[in-house]
A and B are shown apart, each in its own frame.
Chain A
Amino acid sequence: SAVISQKPSRDICQRGTSLTIQCQVDSQVTMMFWYRQQPGQSLTLIATANQGSEATYESGFVIDKFPISRPNLTFSTLTVSNMSPEDSSIYLCSAADTGELFFGEGSRLTVL
């Protein structure tokens, strides 16, 4: 199974700033994804991070707000731009390996 490391694990941010979350997988994986989990809610897929091309965003999420990079098969970043309190959530990176989806520990962001 893939081991996924995310950082930061948590942060407190000021309104209007941007924060980049990093995700590192210990092996090469084909698919990487970013999810958001708002307080008390389930997970919602933000986008699929595509290696070498633009990410594929789900309905309700746009590149300007959540730019994603994936320079290689083991690493991806998610930026939460121009943050507002509504962006306070846990952001989780995941990777698909042999049909199963593995998750990092998540990055808990609080926007003041």
Chain B
Amino acid sequence: SQQGEEDPQALSIQEGENATMNCSYKTSINNLQWYRQNSGRGLVHLILIRSNEREKHSGRLRVTLDTSKKSSSLLITASRAADTASYFCATPLYSGGGADGLTFGKGTHLIIQP
């Protein structure tokens, strides 16, 4: 069953603005990952945040994790047209962690208007 739930399901913003997507999950995890998918192609791994981390940065991406609220957020700053894609959060399917398959949320479809 899917554990992660992203919101919003769709987001449209102007180029240059910041985009924030949220993900909630149900059970305890030891890590959470964010992926991007362009037009039904393969997924690109963006960032992994471990349960003992509260925030992580990678370029224009900032991910936060609040294990007490079982939620994570992905912030894309200074958005570009190329950021248009679907974004998924994913958590380990079982409790084993990194070697497990993942369960994915339904995704947020982000559209950057030029």
Residues of A at the B interface (CB closer than 8 Å) are 1, 4, 6, 30-31, 33, 35, 37, 41-45, 48, 58, 90, 92, 94, 96, 98-106, 108
Contact = CB atoms under 8 A, between A and B. Distances in A.
On chain B, which size bracket covers the interface?
20 to 34
Interface in B81-101: 88, 90, 93, 97-101
Contacts, number: 66
B41 A101 contact: no
Taking chain A's interface residues, is the majority helix, strand, or loop, or is none over half, making it mixed? strand
A45 B40 contact: no
A37 B104 CA distance: 11
Interface of B: 2, 31, 33, 35, 40-45, 48, 88, 90, 93, 97-107
Nearest to B6: A42
A100 B42 contact: no
A33 B101 CA distance: 7
